[in-house]
Amino acid sequence: SARKLLILPGDGIGPEVMREVARVTAWLGRKRGITFEVSEDLVGGASLAEYGVPLCDEVIEKAREADAVLFGSVGDPKWNHVGFDKRPELAILKLRQELGLFANLRPAKVFDALVDASTLKPEVVKGLDIMIVRESTGGIYFGDPRGIETLPNGEKRGINTEVYTTHEIERVGRVAFELARKRKNSVYSVEKCNVMESGLLWKEVITDLHAREYSDVTLSHMLADNCAMQLVRNPRQFDVIVTGNLFGDILSDLASMLTGSLGMLPSATLGARGANGKMPALYEPIHGSAPDIAGKGIANPIAQILSFAMLLRYSFDLQAEADMIETAVSNVLASGLRTADIMSEGKARVGTDVMGEAIVRE
Ligand code: NAI
Ligand code: MG
């Protein structure tokens, strides 16, 4: 059956880096006989300009019907004056919510050729390849009660509540254990069970799930503050890390800087497989629309291309093709080609299109 792919380039450098993915899909069709039924729509500022909303209902419907969504990035300073309910960025927030995308996968992988671009010592990050699984639809960002209230004495109080149910913890835990089985078979579950009841439940549920269904995977527990420290001290001790929304937000940003550049990092957000066997999934680079370099043809397309590789891996089980793309990226970097964001002395500076072409040729 046809592989249905929805492509949403968005704003700024989104469409520029998405063009390089089109080269890769064309190559897959030509050389490997792998084809997609592709449709493409406007989101974010581009959709606001055309339809007056950052995300049309028809696009949400198409996203539901697709096997996978490849997202670029949204955001345009042109729309800074509009109300909060009409910001381009709402497009991605709404898509995640509507598709029930509860597991955010953020790999942090260091390419050997770029070890010198990392802000950390080479001996700490060389060969690093970890995956952070962040719960992304629950926890303190969504829990009730929330708000700002005024106390009888006139003082104000801001409230957010960390809430996790057994079901929410189990389903994201399952994603982490399944991933680990395809990687180095190790999961670190991260919470703060020493001071939080929700953390205590988190640890209990993950421990039970492990004993029941995943005892072949090595499970360890770690407190979130220690994990932040360990990620900087010795990140290679980890394989898969699974954690809640707040800790995952912070730890995944921290981990991304272990690798040196925003322009290199892909991500996936996955939902629960439905009765029809379909798993909602959206893939996107972690970077934004980079308005400062948009239109100049200098954006690094690698994060977008690696997001597509993740899509092949997780939505279509095309492991060999995903490996080929990742190896091609690695080899092109080793050959010395660099976009401006990862440029270093003695290397060849190229634009978005030359980098994309080189990866496809490789
Ligand atoms: P940003 O990630 O767009 O840019 C931060 C810095 O990194 C900029 O100097 C940019 O030039 C550089 N950069 C980012 N991606 C690059 C690439 N592929 N190649 C080379 N350099 C790259 O973050 P910023 O500036 O905070 O946000 C810009 C807009 O993007 C805002 O409207 C923001 O809300 C939006 N945004 C959207 C996201 C999404 O669509 N999921 C995620 C993050 C930000
Ligand atoms: Mg963040």
pLDDT of residue 326: 97
pLDDT tens by residue, 303-335:
999 999 999 999 999 999 999 999 999 999 999
Helix axes 352-361, 14-32, angle to 10 degrees: 20
Question: Would you call 193 helix, strand, or coil by DSSP?
Answer: coil
Closest protein CA for atom 22 of ligand 1 = 263
Cα–Cα distance measured from residue 149 to residue 158, given in angstroms and rounded to the nearest whole number: 7
Ligand 1 shell residues, CB under 6 Å = 13, 73-75, 89, 92, 262-263, 284, 287-293, 299-300, 303, 341
Give the model's confidence band at 189: pLDDT under 50 very low, under 70 low, under 90 confident, else very high.
very high
Nearest atom in ligand 1 to the alpha carbon of residue 88 is 32
Give the model's confidence band at 269: pLDDT under 50 very low, under 70 low, under 90 confident, else very high.
very high
pLDDT tens by residue, 129-150:
999 999 999 999 989 999 999 9
The CATH 3.40.718.10 portion of the chain extends over: 1-102+271-362, 105-261
Ligand 2 center to 249 CA (angstroms): 5
Nearest atom in ligand 1 to the alpha carbon of residue 72 is 40
Ligand 1 center to 229 CA (angstroms): 26
Burial of residue 262 (number of CB atoms within 10 Å: 0-12, 13-18, 19+): middle
Homologous superfamily, domain 1-102+271-362: Isopropylmalate Dehydrogenase (3.40.718.10)
Closest protein CA for atom 40 of ligand 1 = 73
Q: Which long-range contacts (CB under 8 A, 24 or more apart) does 348-353 make?
A: 351/297, 351/298, 352/13, 352/16, 352/17, 352/19, 352/20, 352/297, 352/298, 352/299, 352/300, 352/301, 353/19, 353/20, 353/297
pLDDT of residue 340: 94
Q: What is the mean pLDDT of the chain?
A: 95
Ligand 2 center to 358 CA (angstroms): 31
- Ligand 1, residues 17, 114, 289: which to mutate, most atoms within 8 A of Cβ? 289
Closest protein CA for atom 1 of ligand 1 = 288
Give the CATH fold of the 105-261 domain: Isopropylmalate Dehydrogenase (3.40.718)
82 Rama class: left (phi>0) / alpha (psi -120 to 50) / beta:
beta
Identify residue 165 by its one-letter amino acid code. Answer: T
pLDDT of residue 85: 75
Nearest atom in ligand 1 to the alpha carbon of residue 301 is 18
Give the model's confidence band at 268: pLDDT under 50 very low, under 70 low, under 90 confident, else very high.
very high
Ligand 2 center to 123 CA (angstroms): 27
Question: Would you call 245 helix, strand, or coil by DSSP?
Answer: helix
DSSP-H helix ranges across the chain: 14-32, 45-51, 57-65, 90-98, 122-125, 166-182, 197-213, 224-233, 245-256, 302-316, 319-334, 352-361
pLDDT-above-90 percentage for the chain: 87
Average pLDDT of the segment spanning 182-200: 98
Average pLDDT of the segment spanning 14-25: 98
The pLDDT of residue 344 is above 90: no
Catalytic annotation, residues: 141, 192, 225, 249, 253
The pLDDT of residue 47 is above 90: yes
Enumerate residues with CB within 5 Å of ligand 2 (an ion). 249, 253
Identify residue 222 by its one-letter amino acid code. Answer: M
Ligand 1 center to 173 CA (angstroms): 30
- Ligand 1, residues 287, 308, 343: which to mutate, most atoms within 8 A of Cβ? 287
pLDDT tens by residue, 279-312:
999 999 999 999 999 999 999 999 999 999 999 9
The pLDDT of residue 234 is above 90: yes
The pLDDT of residue 192 is above 80: yes
Nearest atom in ligand 1 to the alpha carbon of residue 290 is 3
pLDDT tens by residue, 154-163:
999 999 999 9
Closest protein CA for atom 32 of ligand 1 = 75
Closest protein CA for atom 12 of ligand 1 = 290
Average pLDDT of the segment spanning 69-76: 97
Average pLDDT of the segment spanning 333-352: 94
Give the model's confidence band at 115: pLDDT under 50 very low, under 70 low, under 90 confident, else very high.
confident
Give the model's confidence band at 270: pLDDT under 50 very low, under 70 low, under 90 confident, else very high.
very high
CB atoms within 10 A of CB 21: 22
Closest protein CA for atom 42 of ligand 1 = 288
Ligand 2 center to 95 CA (angstroms): 17
